[in-house]
Copies of this chain bind each other. A is one copy, B any other.
Amino acid sequence: MVHIFLLALCLFFSSSVPSHGSVQDFCVADYLAPEGPAGYSCKKPANVTVADFVYSLAKSGNTTNIINAAVTPAFAAQLPGVNGLGISIARLDLAPSGVIPLHTHPGGSEILVVIQGKISAGFISSSANTVYLKTLKKGDIMVFPQGLLHFQVNAGGTKAIAFVSFSSPSPGLQILDFALFANDFPSMLVEKTTFLDDAQVKKLKGVLGGTG
């Protein structure tokens, strides 16, 4: 009976031409092959191991910086197993005065869960221009819809940790201050399109290393 059944394994899923090894249960990123609008190319299934689906966010990001905070992503660019699967995750560390400045994720919605400490968070809706604010404690979760400006700040006297998940393997991260003050966006255009004062723009460009 065993013999017949093993034969069954071969014959059961029969095909009159050879099958071409589709890996569409998942598409583990092959960083050396071309990337397309839907994500990275897939590794050959035979080369996929469990390590492609596992990652460690155990260590705190380094918060010895001016925002006293860190984001450690496990997006498709770091964790090949999420490629094509519509999900990714990151770790937030906020020292007592830590701030994740106003930012957007152009490519995905976010859900945050507080693991330690207290976090005040908020987002602003687009046309209605409503501000949604909440102070969250351990075990609280909060949703941030795709593409809307939002922030997180430490709201307790102690270090805060959160995990944030995204509805995309590559949600992107556009930090407002970096977009305005940390590249070569000409100051005159920044001022014209934000109504910020020249002194303010130049001061923050100085801090963040922007030119122009």
Contacts and interface: CB of A to CB of B under 8 A. Distances in A.
A35 B41 contact: yes
Given A42-B36, A50-B132, A71-B13, A25 B165 contact: no
Number of copies of this chain that the complex holds: 6
Range, interface on chain A: 35 or more
B109 A146 contact: no
A53 B115 CA distance: 18
Contacts of A41: 34-36
B102 A167 contact: no
Contacts of A22: 35, 40, 75-77, 127, 170
27 contacts: A6-B209, A12-B67, A12-B175, A13-B71, A13-B73, A14-B62, A14-B70, A17-B78, A25-B126, A30-B34, A33-B34, A36-B40, A36-B42, A36-B84, A53-B134, A82-B111, A85-B143, A86-B108, A86-B109, A102-B193, A105-B147, A106-B106, A129-B179, A151-B193, A153-B189, A196-B196, A200-B200
B35 A38 contact: no
A123 B183 CA distance: 12
A129 B12 CA distance: 14
Given A183-B130, A206-B2, A104 B106 contact: yes
